[in-house]
Amino acid sequence: MRQRYANLTRIRALDPERDHLAIYQTMLRLEFPWDLKLGLNLAFTRSFAVPAVAAVHVGTGELTERTQKRLDDTGLLMYELVLNGFDDPRGREALRRINQIHRRHAILADHYRYVLACLVVVPTRWLDRYGWRRPCCHERQATHAFYRELGRRMGVDAVPDTYAEFESWFDAYDATHLHPNDDAAAIERATRTLMLTRVPTALSPLGDALVGAVYDGPLRRATRVDDPPLAVRGGLHAALRVRARWQRWFGRPRTVALFTDGIRTRTYPDGYEISRLGPDPGDEATG
């Protein structure tokens, strides 16, 4: 059991402000690879669901007409930042590309803050509920510090100073702005189609209900997704909790980090150029 917490011991020896990148990398690549990837996917789904943000995405057609490419591009740019850091040449190129993509849209500062808050809060809450252990205070602080720094480098000011303050800000913004809207529903339908391809064949008849059960109530309402049957919600919750306990008591710490052999996606099975991720140049000119 002591070996199971070896990464946590190393994390607690670090400074969560100065070493936020190393801590966040360890969380993604070694401690919670599956859960944190799913949590980040849920965070982006939620950030796309706010009416004003959803309208921008539907207007570009990136998420509704080129869904797989758009999701792969978003994931690759984020992973380049996490895996390499902001000061590495690949990290700098990814951040430059992110800023280029967003610069042509009139996006309010609060919308940027909400996306950052989703990336901080939504995955952490998933880990609180379904991770093999709950994130420690160092991990919460490092997660907040990483995305606060991302916001600073994107020119987003007034990001709350602590994880707890950002979580409170997220809840207040969510309650005020996350409303049912047709654009969010259209995006959810497009992304759901891709999610269903990853449901095991034996569970495919329950695919739609399982996807809905992964969402919480506010996200289902915003995207006009029906509440799944109570049996499906309860069964999924129980299965995830059993998985967490099995990992806690019988799992071993990962020794091979996620993405050691690079990142492969459906859109780019043979690799990619960071500068070409996102909308095609012609789309950028008319977006």
Per-residue model confidence as pLDDT tens digits over 47-96: 999 999 999 889 888 899 999 999 999 999 999 999 999 999 999 999 99
State the alpha helices, DSSP H only, in the chain.
6-12, 20-26, 33-47, 51-60, 67-84, 89-103, 109-130, 137-153, 163-177, 182-196, 207-214, 217-222, 230-250, 281-286
CA distance 138 to 287: 41
Proportion of the chain above pLDDT 70, given as a percent: 97
Q: Lowest mean pLDDT of 2-11, 29-38, 45-54, 134-143, name the range.
A: 2-11
CA distance 40 to 79: 11
Spatial CA neighbour of 124 closest among 111, 139, 138, 114: 139
Would the pLDDT of 284 be above 60?
A: no
CA distance 86 to 82: 8
CA distance 274 to 277: 5
Would the pLDDT of 268 be above 60?
A: yes
Specify the DSSP class assigned to residue 27: I
Average pLDDT, the chain: 92
CA distance 173 to 117: 10
